[in-house]
Structures are given as C-alpha cells and as structure tokens.
Amino acid sequence: MSRSLLFTARLAASIILLTGTGDVHAAGPDIEWPSYGNDPGGSRYSPIEDITPQNVTQLEVAWTFNTGDVADGSEPFRETSAFELTPILVDGLLYACTPFNRVLALDPETGEERWSFDPGVDTTADYANQLICRGVETWLDVQAEEGAVCRRRIFTGTLDARLIALDGATGKPCADFGEAGQVDLSGSVGSERWRGEYSITSPPAIAGDVVIVGSAVGDNQRTDAPSGVVRAFDVRTGALRWAWDAAPPDVAPGGRSPAGWALSSPNVWAPIAVDEARGLVFVPTGNPTPDYASAWRQGLETYGSSVVALNARTGERVWSFQTVHQDLWDFDVPAQPTLFPLRRGGVEVPALVQATKMGLLFTLHRETGEPLFPVEERPVPQNPDPGLVLSPTQPFPLKPPPLIRHQLAPEDAFGLLYFDAQACRRSIESLRNDGIYTPPSFQGSLMYPGNAGGSNWGGVAVDPERQLLIANSSDLPWVVTLLPRERFAEEKAANPGVEISPQDGANFAMRREMLMSPLGLPCNPPPWGTLAAIDLENGDIRWQVPLGTVRDLAPIPIPWRAGTPNLGGPLVTGSGLVFIGAAMDDYIRAFDIITGDELWKARLPAGGQATPMTYRAGGRQYVVIAAGGHGRANTRLGDAIVAYALPAE
C-alpha cells in the first residue's frame, strides 16, 4: 500500500472511531443474550460497544414484530395483559413468549417469525396475576449430536401451571420430557379455588441438568393457599429431582398439600439466579399469604421475604438472609438476585445485591450470605391491632442509602391545586402514619413505601467494569385498611374498582389502594419514579434522576419530567449506556452511565413495561424491548416487539 493510501485509510479509521458512526464493528462476532438477565446471575450487562454515547442519537427502528396477543379486560377476556417480556438469543434465533404463553422464534436481524408454539392456555380465565410471561430459558445438551431433536431445549412456564420443553429448532414439544413435553405443576401443591390461582409468570432457571421453577400465587385470598414450594426437574426427562419447601418441616398452620408441602408457604414468583461455578441457586422469596395477617402464620415466616441460597444439586438450604421480619406489608422480595464481582482492595469478592420494594439494596457475600455493607437492626413501629404479630426491629443497610423516601408527613402533601393538596393532607392526617413499617390497621394505615414501591421484578443492572449498579425505583403512598369479617361482602360490592380481598381463615379482610388526590395524582411530591447509579465500591449514590414524564398520564400531553411509577428494569452496555423503558410514558430511553444525562429517547407503539436486551447479529448491535403495556398500570396496551439499531451501511 502506498504511503498516501495508508494515510487515507488511517484517517478514515480515526474519523470512524471518533464519531462512533460507520461500519467499524461490522466484522465483529455475533454476541448472544442467552439468559433472562443475559447471564444466569442476572447482571443485565452486555460488553457490546457498537452503540455509544456519541452515536446513540442515530438509533432507528430496525424491525417490529406484532404478536397479536393482547387483552384489555373486555369480553371475552376477564384479565388484561402485561407484556413484561425480555427475549433471549441463542443459536441465531430470538426466543420470546407472549402474555398468552405462546412461544416464538424470530430472526434477530429481520424480526421474521421462524416458528411459534401455542400451549393452549385459556386466555379467558381469571388469572390472579394478569396475562403475563416474562421470558423463557434454554439448555443445550452437549452430549447429543449436532442436529439431534431437542439438543437445544427452550423451557417455558404457563399461567395454568405447566412446565414445557420445546425443540429450539422447530418449536415442537420434546417428547421425552414429562408427558409429551410437559409437566403439570399444579396438583401436588394443593387445591386451587380456580385454575390460575397458581401460575408460572417468570422464566425457569437452569442449573446444570435441572430446570427450576417457583410460582405466583394469588395474594390475600386464604390461609390454605397452594404451597410456594420451589422445584427442580431433570432437563431431559422432567422427573422431579428436588423440592425446597420454604417452611420448616414441623410448621404447617394452613395444612399440607398432597405431596406434603406446607400450604400458604412463601413462594418465589420473581426470577431465580444461578451461580454455576459454586453450584448455588439463589431464590427471592415472598411472604406467607395472606399478606396482612400474621398471628396465624407463625413459623411460616422463617424464610419469608428473604434471599435463600440452595445447593443446585440437592435443593438443600446453604444460607438465608431475611430482608423483612414478620412481613405484614407485602414487601416480598420482588426481583432476581443480581450476582457480580465486587472489587475491594484489588480483590474480587463474589457478591450478590438484592433489590427490594423498600428501596433498600442489600449487598451480600455469595458464599456465606454475610452483608458486605453493614446492616443494622432498628426499632420500628409497634402496638399492632389484634390478630397481628410484629417484629420489634427491621434490618436496614447502612449503605447504599434508601433509593426512595420512607416518611410522608401531612405538610408534605402534594397537589396540583390548593384544594387538591389539602385533600391529600386531610387523608394523611386521618391515617395511622408512623413511617416505614407502620402496621396495617382497622383505622387505615399509610404504607410509605407501599407494596408497589422501590424495585419490582425488573430488578437492577450491574456494570462489573465500572463497578456501578443501575436501579429504577417507584415512590408511591398506599393505604391498607383491615376490615371486620362481616363487612367484607358489603365493602366489596360498594367498591368494585378497589382491591378488597377476603383473607379467608384470618380474623379480618383487607382493603388496599393507592393514596391519590382528587385530580388523580399521588399524594406525595414528585418524583414518583427515579433512575439511580450506585458506586459499588463505597455504596454511595453517584447520581439519581427522575424517570419518565406525565405525557401519557395527563389529560393533555404535557412532557413534565416528574418521574413516574415504573415497571421493568435497566440494561447496561460496555460503551457506558443505560437503556430503559419502564416508565408510564411510551418511551425507551438511553442514559449516560457516568453522568445520568438522558442522551436519547424513542416513542414506542405502546407502554414499555419490560426490560430491554441487546445482542450483535450480522455485524449490527440491536436493542430490543417489548412494547405491549401493562393493564393494571393503565399504560397503553399493544403487542409489539421493537428492535433498534444504527443505520445500516
């Protein structure tokens, strides 16, 4: 090559690198997203650097796929849909599931459908947790020959409690798994009052040669609800390999299931994390049901609202850490534990961070469960109403600080107009209000945060190189009122739009609702949703910004960046970008991970209450998000999977 040609080539390469545009990464290898959180530990981090802070504004829609599966609650549907999907990418196919539990294989470069499988779920049934499927999981049989049937298996759980194994190449059920490709999970856990009281909404987890599932159980219905047992099945045959009952062996106040597991025991409805190297499975547990009655369930609380490490081979408990004692607030652990290497003094420590509804982050040693930032037990409100048992203290990490507020005084009441704020003030004054961990009461108690506060199933993302954690949080007040048993039917009939549940077997029913102003806004001041970066080395909040606008909530589309409640989680890339939907306006956004600046946003065809993912295929990096809205959050419903990429050359 001549000197002038060499100079020209170098200049062109320099321009490409400086601007971040062009086809510099076209020769890069394909990079997959092989698990719900990319890795089994749920980091939601990808090292791909093609899309950068410099070129992110050039992102455009590469393809859109419409599933056709959406329900608005009108006939024939009894429930609404919530498109909470995060797809996975393996072997050159993008695998997804719809709110109707259909499983799809798509071309990752075009979005064209390669195959679909319909398990035949009754979408008109009354499911306790809406019509939801958050994702699927996969396993590769390295002992099978290339091209063998079901060498690549796709596992999915269903709303009617089945575990299904599909051939990754064709979508046909794996005949050697269970009965004709499926295992019925419902019968052995106890009787269901209706099909759908017991469901699978989160993706299964894979640990070695077992596939592991938890369950979602209808809240606040009764003291003898189906068991929350966690089970592991052989990936090839579907045979039960082990079961972990989150109740001590001698405790079963609600009775036992046909298989001998305690009824109403804490369940695991959120995604499960796996440490393959250490042979550990980390399960985030809920609280025993019903949520707001505790006197009857003593003993069932032992592993409730906890992070529990299980032996992946046997299911035996290795350690547990409880985030809430005697949980009376529905503060069940809502998100996948996130595994990451914590750097301290030049040494990498195997760490786990657990996000919670209280806006607290617990950072634990993966092998022992010991806190890596100090945790102290602090006195909390007491003097419960009859039928409730309280813990005198609750655990609070000293670092990181809470991501949301824990106190709401009458003088803090918010309203757009004077009368609006005054109505909120009077409401707050009428309630029992002792701060976080105020017990529910017959008077009516302010729950701040409430059961929809802090983090939810979207979890957090960790950048292991920069040692930064990204968390989105909701900040909302709720009211919980205990109801005398004899008033349940009357209250239920008089308030058709309010959650009023029987808590059969307990001494009282319950009523739960968000504390809203007459104009329909939360009674606490904004922001009602934030995005934050936490320095994992020192536990400090690096930055925190409002997430979302009221554009799609207000009567007129005002882009007031007040921060909104949010559902879904963040994605972090190696180039230093944070991608997130989640907010209650119809946008996906990109933030600078160092500064928290919003760099890009794009309008979605429906609510983006899902966690995005990314991959490289055919030389291009794609960012994909499910945009189908969330029925109970009242965001715009739809059925789209949208992929973004830089312009093709």
- Write out the catalytic residue numbers: 330
CB 480 within 8 A of CB 447: yes
CB 351 within 8 A of CB 365: yes
Residues with Cβ < 8 Å from 104, sequence gap 6 or more? 65, 67, 95, 96, 97, 98, 113, 115, 116, 117
Residues with Cβ < 8 Å from 7, sequence gap 6 or more? none
d(CA 427, CA 452): 19
Closest CA relative to residue 339, chosen from 89, 135, 40, 88: 40
Which helix (H) or strand (E) segment holds residue 211: the answer is strand 210-213
Q: What are phi and psi of 424, to 5 degrees?
A: -65, -40
Torsion angle, alpha carbons of 313, 316, 321, 323, to 10: 90
Q: Identify the three-state secondary structure at position 333.
A: coil
**508 bridge partner residues:** 484
| Cα dihedral sign, 25-27-28-31 | positive
| Cα dihedral sign, 35-41-47-50 | positive
425: left (phi over 0), alpha (psi -120 to 50) or beta: alpha
Q: Identify the three-state secondary structure at position 568.
A: coil
Token output for 2: 């001549």
Token output for 290: 């019903």
Closest CA relative to residue 95, chosen from 175, 252, 203: 203
CB 388 within 8 A of CB 293: yes
> What b/e readout covers 452-488, taking b as 16+ CB neighbours within 10 angstroms?
bbbbbbbbbbbbbebbbbbbbbbbbbbbbbbbeeeeb
